[in-house]
């Protein structure tokens, strides 16, 4: 091969690689793209993966229909169908906020998208935090199934957001006890838990996993009236939702927190 032909061959090779890169990263969005749910558009994935949705892609969501304002809850979306191997997702909400639980999800423009292609059937877990004001909310999702042109919308998930009520909250109001939401939340690996005691009381503060197993007791003593801040570390624990529960005399309260690594 002479020098001129060699240059032509190399130049052609560069063009082919550039075209593959362009198609891969601009048109296929292997790292996810936001604003493709019914919250903002009826185009779905049509700009890249076929012009119309496919009924062969089945998307289901599991999680509570009723939530308490300001509290966090875990939801799971399952995706199946299509012809191929990999897919992706875009999840959005009207009023609440979203955080990833599955390691292959990331937050983008306030929504959740996939970090890379995900094998189909796919399971996506995420944390939904209800808005601070009661009312209603909607969770949206658009997912790509197996196959380049296989995608569909998830049926919108309606959520009722209630004002905090019940035995624990009423007890809090009438007696002066109070347990705050941990901060930061989500956290990695350190968070702080604040609570207030209106009078001297024996206090027990424990951490549990989602199946109810005790992880750690971080407070177990009689304390004087006042506001307390306790630091908790999850260095040796896996990512996921944990519960923290305070018991002070007849008062008890439990809240959720999310450890992300």
Of the three residues 111, 137, 162, the one that is the final residue of a domain is: 162
Of the three residues 128, 162, 196, the one that is the final residue of a domain is: 162
Check whether residue 243 and residue 193 sit in a common domain: yes
3-state secondary structure of 75: strand
Alpha helices, DSSP H only, in the chain?
A: 3-22, 167-175
Give the model's pLDDT for residue 48.
78
Reading the block at residue 106, the tokens are 């990331």
Phi first, then psi: give them for residue 15, nearest 5 degrees.
-60, -40
Give the model's pLDDT for residue 112.
96
Check whether residue 18 and residue 78 sit in a common domain: no
Q: Which residues contact 199 (CB under 8 A, 6 or more apart)?
A: 176, 225
Give the domain range for residue 22. 1-29
Check whether residue 76 and residue 146 sit in a common domain: yes
Check whether residue 38 and residue 139 sit in a common domain: yes
Check whether residue 129 and residue 191 sit in a common domain: no
Phi first, then psi: give them for residue 13, nearest 5 degrees.
-60, -40
Check whether residue 137 and residue 72 sit in a common domain: yes
Between CA 2 and CA 244 the distance in angstroms is 73
Give the model's pLDDT for residue 18.
45
CATH number at residue 222: 2.60.40.1930
Domain count, the chain: 3
Check whether residue 49 and residue 156 sit in a common domain: yes
- Is the pTM of the predicted complex or chain greater than 0.75? no
Of the three residues 162, 186, 207, the one that is the final residue of a domain is: 162
Tens place of pLDDT per residue across the chain (261 aa): 544 454 444 444 544 444 444 343 334 567 788 899 999 988 887 777 777 888 899 999 998 888 888 888 889 999 998 766 788 999 999 999 999 988 899 999 999 999 988 889 999 999 999 998 888 899 999 999 887 778 999 999 998 887 764 334 444 444 578 888 899 988 999 999 999 888 899 999 999 987 788 999 999 999 998 889 999 999 999 998 899 999 998 888 888 899 988
Nearest partner of 242 among 209, 211, 217, judged by Cα: 209
Residue found by looking up tokens 């877990």 in the block: 125
Check whether residue 24 and residue 74 sit in a common domain: no
Check whether residue 175 and residue 218 sit in a common domain: yes
Distance of CA 239 to the CA centre of its chain: 12
Reading the block at residue 142, the tokens are 């658009």
Give the model's pLDDT for residue 106.
93
Q: Tell me if 233 sits within 8 A of 189, measured CB to CB.
A: yes
Check whether residue 25 and residue 35 sit in a common domain: no
Check whether residue 1 and residue 103 sit in a common domain: no
Check whether residue 35 and residue 152 sit in a common domain: yes
Vertex 91: Cα angle to 86 and 96 (nearest 5): 160
CATH number at residue 157: 2.60.40.4060
């Amino acid at each position: 091969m002479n020098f001129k032909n060699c240059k032509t061959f190399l130049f052609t090779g560069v063009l082919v690689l550039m075209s593959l890169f362009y198609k891969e990263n601009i048109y296929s969005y292997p790292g996810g793209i936001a604003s493709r749910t019914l919250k903002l558009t009826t185009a779905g994935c049509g700009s890249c993966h076929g012009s119309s949705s496919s009924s062969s892609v089945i998307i289901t969501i599991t999680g509570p229909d009723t939530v308490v304002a300001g509290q966090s809850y875990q939801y799971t979306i399952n995706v199946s169908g299509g012809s191929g191997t990999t897919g992706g997702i875009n999840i959005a909400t009207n009023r609440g906020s979203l955080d990833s639980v599955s390691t292959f999800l990331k937050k983008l423009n306030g929504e959740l998208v996939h970090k890379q292609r995900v094998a189909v059937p796919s399971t996506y877990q995420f944390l939904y935090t209800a808005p601070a004001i009661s009312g209603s909310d909607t969770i949206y999702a658009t997912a790509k199934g197996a196959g380049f042109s296989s995608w569909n919308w998830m049926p919108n998930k309606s959520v009722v957001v209630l004002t905090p009520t019940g035995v624990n909250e009423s007890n809090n109001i009438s007696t002066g006890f109070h347990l705050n939401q941990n901060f930061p939340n989500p956290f990695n690996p350190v968070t702080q838990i604040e609570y207030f005691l209106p009078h001297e009381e024996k206090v027990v503060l424990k951490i549990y996993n989602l199946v109810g197993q005790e992880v750690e007791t971080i407070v177990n003593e009689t304390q004087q009236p006042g506001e307390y801040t306790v630091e908790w570390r999850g260095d040796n624990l896996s990512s996921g939702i944990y519960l923290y529960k305070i018991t002070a005399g007849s008062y008890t309260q439990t809240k959720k927190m999310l450890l992300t690594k």
